[in-house]
Structure 1
């Protein structure tokens, strides 16, 4: 997930399982906290809710939709409800002896590390949150158990018919207008301490040095692999094909002005300083039904899965003994 790329929100399963967003309870290292709710006798503390809020903010930042703490604070009741729902599902998964495969937790941990920008960034986050790697892996295992439960019990039997897909394509023609796309690489140098002039100048000097190396004939891919501070660094800065509305305005304006092979001047966004290399362009076009089949099926399946999960969660909430503290 690239910080400056806009992505649609997929809420339900992310909030309940071990996707990008993770929610967990710290078991040691902090003083005892008052309990906000009990799920079949299992407590949920105010510490859990604080971590829920912090990780929700981090998720929104990764999606380029940052929210203030004040805004998130207004969602306290909904976030607590998410914690309760997740605990209900985990307990049910445990009763059915549903556990993730042994390698799944390690894969999820590696994926999370990539999303945070590397192992060092993830460890810094854990240190700030007051949790150990073992505790984080335990929470990943818990979330993966819930994911396995939902797949087996709620969404396994979902099917999408040909008639449903044809109706979707016929009734939503604008959905299949593919805007002009560009494929670009970029190098990002971040401002480590926003608001401090010294930090800004350090980042500016670094990006200028890289720009000079490019002007002297250096390979853009090599510099991106070595110096970029974006998760796309692992792909030599390649962001793939993107439309204008998937990018921040300043980044998009600079990118769409380039021709294949061109390199931008230094571009400033709230994430730092960028150098952009145009790789390819694709003109706007109407996507045919045959080519849109995968997208249609995926969209309809996601909607049906979300509805199925909602029903499944509601059913088990009714069966659980849930007590909220006044």
Structure 2
């Protein structure tokens, strides 16, 4: 049984009530409510709501005409929402459905060739030639990137991490296509300036394993089934209940 934190006019407010309120707060904001003081503030908010609730009952709010209209509208919206969600919950995607979709659509699960590279980006050909000469003389690529490159990757010694083929500008991508791992290539000019590129790894095109995409496939298929169910149900209900369009 959930611990009672407070009571208002005999009605208990429990830890479950507080946890539910916390669950409605966006994750990026929820961390701010982890301290005992912040949780006490939320408890006070729950208490305030209950106080207003009991005062409203004492003032016979249920007899208020505006409240009655609002209540009826809320009830109607809830019935619609609950009816639709309850019906769509009947949709099911089996393991066999997901596996069949994976097997029949291999093109959907291809990963492009991946590169891992570092680069040094400078504005002028003169600076490019000076840096390349320093590299060829045995200078550290990473140190020279930190010193000369105008790309934010300079903080990591020019490291761009892994990226897919086609993700970079064409001239950069074309250069990578002809390079071997650990090769350094200069004279790569793009709209950004002059690049000196070091290819650190290359991964061939691959197919994602079924286990890695299983949940996404099931979610995709479930959405499709629910959409079809919704459309079919609406059409059948139109035959049951009269629908008239006005111009």
Q: TM-score under structure 2 normalisation? A: 0.46
Structure number with the bigger relative contact order (C-alpha 8 A, sep ≥ 6) is 1
Q: TM-score under structure 1 normalisation? A: 0.36
The structure with the largest strand share of the pair is 2
